[in-house]
Structure 1
């Protein structure tokens, strides 16, 4: 049998104030296309369906449209909530929806019943914290995520003669080694939320979500599929892909099919005049200028790079060791503050022409008030 393993869709996410909804719409179309071409038997979605616990109407409608298309294809889907989701909202009407083959995890209530698919048992574990588990095991000390998940798994009635698949959204480590994370993810605080991969020894495949870079932990069958899009510039060199899992008599084969995003994510640096000679590029850009004293840089660069998410100046600095006299600061005019700021940014003083421009702008602002 063949499955698609997805996770960390983060539908409705904004990156540097850019809405990703159209990029996400295209990615979901590609998933539908691959579902047909690969003739998959099911789809796993390992949490963080939405970027917020209360998603926008636009985000809800996009995911609903995607799920309806999956249901129309008669492909069962198995979906768990992540730490960005509201488990309660995501599982609303889940019993009714399951009649169409779309299965959502419900709030953890001390037990999990597997969903059978021929000779495979599929277990849905929503994102849980120690407090979510502790109340169901009052006689056991549950002080961290390791204790919590260990007790959850111990209380599952797993038939190891069948193929067992777990879908989960947790921070899994391998012998103390953490997965590679990016800026767009919530970083682990110490080792509090670490869960050792050996807890999952009785599962033939563990479909994980939570980490945005595709990677396996401990063994190839315990796998993060990664996010379908790059959600920060720390992910710029990652290859985003659809994970295809093929299972035959407990033998697991994994392959990846690259996504083709509407916009790539790139980082470039250089002098503005050199960058303006480049070909037009609609990628999401992080540009670092090596010039000093560049006026209206963003507007100029947007003629070539219309989707600038981040613009930095290499010479930017602040002198944190400088002593500041509050009285002196209050006595300075806005123009003087701007002049000081400009000099700190560029290491150069305003020219007479620039002084006239700034003075004119400040006067216009004052009159507008």
Structure 2
């Protein structure tokens, strides 16, 4: 059997207000072409198909078209719900779609019912919220480990007499050969109890296709995260995005990573504004989406506009001034003591711009304070 393991599509998501639907459509094209070129038997989608429980119409349309194209190539699709998905909305029509070769597994009650392809049993274990399961499954504790351990007991009860087994799961799994790498775009799932699940929960399974973490990683040779197909935070600047192409046979398992297209690379810059605008070393990132942190002692005026003249795709601007030898360490109470309203307001203007208030600005501030005093006097 040849599988293509992918996850965390997050269809409908934007990147700092940049619409990603076209980039997600380009990934869908890449996915379909990979399935065709590599003669993939089954596509495994390990959750977070959509970015929110009630997805946008365009996101639903893209998902529908992608699944239809995959089935049109003769591939089967097994897809589970992630913590961003609504298991009820995503699972609508699952019984009918089974007949078409798209197997939606969003109901925790069905974790022990596999999709069987050429002797390989594929078990879809959707995101398990412990609080919703502990009564039905009589869990001893409120944790993701308890929930997934019970799910795997049900999987093993069915898999015992089968030749090969594959599990899809959406969870935060730890252990194995390397500590899992997280990113800023992943939603915290610890609210539903302790989130960490040991990799040993999946012992004995021939391949485990994980979703939730957005960086590709192999916890063991047989337990892997594919990661998201696109970067969804600047913390993923150095990620390689794509899917795992997995061959599962009687002699063992082989996996190769298939890289996905990158719509626009990311970079993070830090420094004083004038240095960033003039330094030739930054020529290589002028066409990238940027997160910029300015370290000027005072906040430069029109910083974003000036940055975008050189770096037109700057999306995020932060300000972390470097401490200078003459920095004022007094508290705000000490700084404003005995000073007039106009002087304090003038200090604010100087703090958030590149210099003190000019005559026009001081006149505007003066008139504003006068207006306030008159209004209070008339109250």
Q: CA deviation at 1:314?
A: 3.9
CA 1:312–1:137 in structure 2 vs 1: closer, same or farther (change >3 Å)?
Answer: closer
1:310 aligns with 2:316: yes
Q: CA deviation at 1:271?
A: 4.3
How big is each residue's C-alpha offset from its partner over 1:188-217, in whole Å with a ceiling of 9 and x where there is no partner?
649812211112113100000010111122
CA 1:158–1:300 in structure 2 vs 1: closer, same or farther (change >3 Å)?
Answer: same
Give the total of aligned pairs: 359
Q: CA deviation at 1:91?
A: 0.8
Q: Distance in 2 between matches of 1:331 and 1:101?
A: 75
Q: CA deviation at 1:357?
A: 6.4
Aligned to 2:374: none
Q: RMSD of aligned C-alpha atoms?
A: 3.3
Q: Distance in 2 between matches of 1:291 and 1:322?
A: 21
Aligned to 2:145: 146
User: Structure 1 length normalisation: TM-score?
Assistant: 0.85
Q: Distance in 2 between matches of 1:10 and 1:320?
A: 45
Q: Distance in 2 between matches of 1:81 and 1:323?
A: 50
Contact 1:133 1:152 in 2 (8 A): no
Q: CA deviation at 1:330?
A: 12
Contact 1:172 1:178 in 2 (8 A): no
Aligned to 2:231: 230
How big is each residue's C-alpha offset from its partner over 1:211-266, in whole Å with a ceiling of 9 and x where there is no partner?
0111122x211111111111111111222122111112151111112222111111
Q: Which has the higher helix share?
A: 2
Higher Rg: 2
How big is each residue's C-alpha offset from its partner over 1:336-355, in whole Å with a ceiling of 9 and x where there is no partner?
53x43344457x642xxx62
Aligned to 2:121: 121
Aligned to 2:165: 164
Aligned to 1:184: 185
How big is each residue's C-alpha offset from its partner over 1:81-127, in whole Å with a ceiling of 9 and x where there is no partner?
00000010001111112222111113212653111100211001111
Aligned to 1:281: 286
Q: Structure 1 regions of 5+ residues with no counterpart?
A: none
Contact 2:125 2:151 in 1 (8 A): no
Aligned to 1:98: 98
Aligned to 1:214: 216
Contact 2:231 2:237 in 1 (8 A): yes
Q: Distance in 2 between matches of 1:59 and 1:361?
A: 48
What secondary structure, in the 3-state scheme, does the structure 1 residue paired with 2:222 have? strand
What secondary structure, in the 3-state scheme, does the structure 2 residue paired with 1:155 have? helix
Contact 2:15 2:232 in 1 (8 A): yes
Contact 1:206 1:223 in 2 (8 A): yes
Contact 1:46 1:167 in 2 (8 A): yes
User: Structure 2 length normalisation: TM-score?
Assistant: 0.83
Q: Distance in 2 between matches of 1:323 and 1:360?
A: 24
Aligned to 1:74: 74
